[in-house]
Amino acid sequence: MYINVKGGLLDLAKPRVMGILNVTPDSFYAASRMETEGEIAVRARQILDEGADIIDIGAYSSRPNAGHITPEEEMGRLRVGLEIVNRECPDAIVSVDTFRADVAQRCVEEYGVAMVNDIAAGELDERMFATVARLGVPYVMTHIQGTPQDMQRAPRYDNPTREVFLYFAKKTSQLRELGAKDLILDPGFGFGKTLEHNYELMANLEEFAVFGLPLLVGVSRKSMIYHLLGGAPDDALNGTTALHAVALMKGANILRAHDVRQAVETVRVIEKLKESHNP
């Protein structure tokens, strides 16, 4: 279970943590918004110091009902963020969180970004698959129903797990035909799903192992936690940690997290548990 990043191999048999760096003014979790140069630099160093293996930088908020911004504005925010990350953390593995092929290409070619994390698996830009295949970088494809602007209005499924499974079967086939390598699956918790849909997907997460591909889980401080427990994103760390542990036991290879230290500690605990179960 390896992916090729920056000319080397990253072993995902040991679960990794992807730290979130939002260079946006409107991400759903207010504490994650980094807008000044100082804030971005501190956050980038914090992600690595707390043990993450990947920095995931995003400039387009994908929260439900998020405002739409132009590719130029997205790239402008990313340019500032990536220049700072490259200066402060030159050896870091950096992923760009974008659904736009042109933005992904510029980030990879101009700023050395090592991975593309697409919340829509090509659904919002038909050029994305050909672009990532040509770039030859690892590609995270996320299941989504709708767009960030409308995905939570009335999501409907007959069988969420089956429908997400078939979605990935189709997408992986298309990408492989184009020659894309190092594919990573993200079931898309919160992307066009009710609370019940999200928990059904989590309960059946191990079924996605049949693809033989790394699995990324992004539940950090999301509404599936605080709508169940009460409160707001600020109150959702404990629930996040609980779901991280469940996801790791069910085969997750990457945790995308706001709270890096807690996610790293969860990985260590679950890995020790597995090791003790199979001495």
Residues designated as active site: 222, 256
- Orientation angle between helical segments 160-177 and 128-135, nearest 10 degrees: 50
Looking up tokens 């593995």, which residue turns up?
Answer: 93
Q: Are 7 and 26 in contact (CB under 8 A)?
A: no
Comparing CA positions, the residue from 117, 239, 131 lying closest to residue 186 is 117
Q: Are 231 and 186 in contact (CB under 8 A)?
A: no
Distance CA 98, CA 236 (A): 25
**CB within 8 Å of 9: residues ≥ 6 apart:** 2, 3
Q: Which residues of 101-137 are buried (b: 16+ CB within 10 A; e: fewer)?
A: bebbbbbbeebebbbbbbbbbbbbbeebbbbbbebeb
Q: Is 248 exposed, middle or buried (0-12, 13-18, 19+ CB in 10 A)?
A: buried
CA neighbours closer than 13 Å in the CB half-sphere of residue 118:
29
CA 97 to chain centre: 7
